[in-house]
Amino acid sequence: MNGLGGWFRQLTAKLSAALRTFMVGRYGTDRLNMVILSVGLVASLLSVIFKFAPVNLALFILSYGMMFWAIFRTLSRKTYKRYQENRKFLQFMGRIKDREHRYFDCPKCRQMVRVPRGKGKISITCPRCREKFVKKT
Ligand SMILES: [Zn+2]
């Protein structure tokens, strides 16, 4: 019994070491990947329900596309690029959730500027390049 348990422990240790070696320099997973996988999963569940061929095919392609995309990101060696994607995604989600403010990109330097909502037309000064632009909030 002990021999088998020890053998099994050794095997798991070896496997996890091999996985660690394989993942060295690779990106791994993040919030964006979780969302991509969830969308893929929902699409594959919906494809079971919707039997109408064009819809079914579209859902099928979407679900596989999402899964491959998530795998690609997990195994990617361009960790900085993946990190930036995730950061932008989280920023985007933050913008959607934020009901108190509106977000604009400076027309000159693309700096993101946050202003309070519901103030009508206001003149905004970019904090980075001092460019002035008028927006409705
Ligand atoms: Zn600017």
DSSP state letters, the chain = -HHHHHHHHHHHHHHHHHHHHHHTT-----HHHHHHHHHHHHHHHHHHH--SHHHHHHHHHHHHHHHHHHHHHHH-S-HHHHHHHHHHHHHHHHHHH-SSEEEEE-TTT--EEEEESS--EEEEE-TTT--EEEEE-
- pLDDT of 31 > 80? The answer is yes
Banded pLDDT at 130 (limits 50, 70, 90):
very high
Write down the pLDDT at residue 16.
Answer: 95
Decide the pairing of beta strands 101-105 and 112-116.
antiparallel
Distance (Å) from CA 95 to ligand 1 centroid = 19
The residue count for the chain: 137
Distance (Å) from CA 111 to ligand 1 centroid = 5
Write down the pLDDT at residue 1.
Answer: 57
Task: Please state the rounded mean pLDDT for residues 119-123.
Answer: 92
End-to-end CA gap in the chain: 70
Distance (Å) from CA 99 to ligand 1 centroid = 23
Whether residue 116 contacts residue 137, with contact meaning beta carbons closer than 8 Å, is answered with yes
The fraction of the chain above a pLDDT of 90, given in percent, is 85
Distance (Å) from CA 127 to ligand 1 centroid = 7
pTM above 0.85, yes or no: no
Whether residue 43 contacts residue 58, with contact meaning beta carbons closer than 8 Å, is answered with no
Distance (Å) from CA 113 to ligand 1 centroid = 9
Task: Please state the rounded mean pLDDT for residues 83-110.
Answer: 92
Distance (Å) from CA 117 to ligand 1 centroid = 20
Write down the pLDDT at residue 127.
Answer: 93
Residues, CB-to-ion distance under 5 Å, ligand 1 = 106, 108-109, 111, 126, 128-129, 131
Whether residue 51 contacts residue 22, with contact meaning beta carbons closer than 8 Å, is answered with no
- pLDDT of 32 > 90? The answer is yes
Banded pLDDT at 137 (limits 50, 70, 90):
confident
Write down the pLDDT at residue 43.
Answer: 96
Distance (Å) from CA 101 to ligand 1 centroid = 18
The fraction of the chain above a pLDDT of 70, given in percent, is 99
Distance (Å) from CA 92 to ligand 1 centroid = 19
Question: Average pLDDT, whole number, for the chain?
Answer: 93
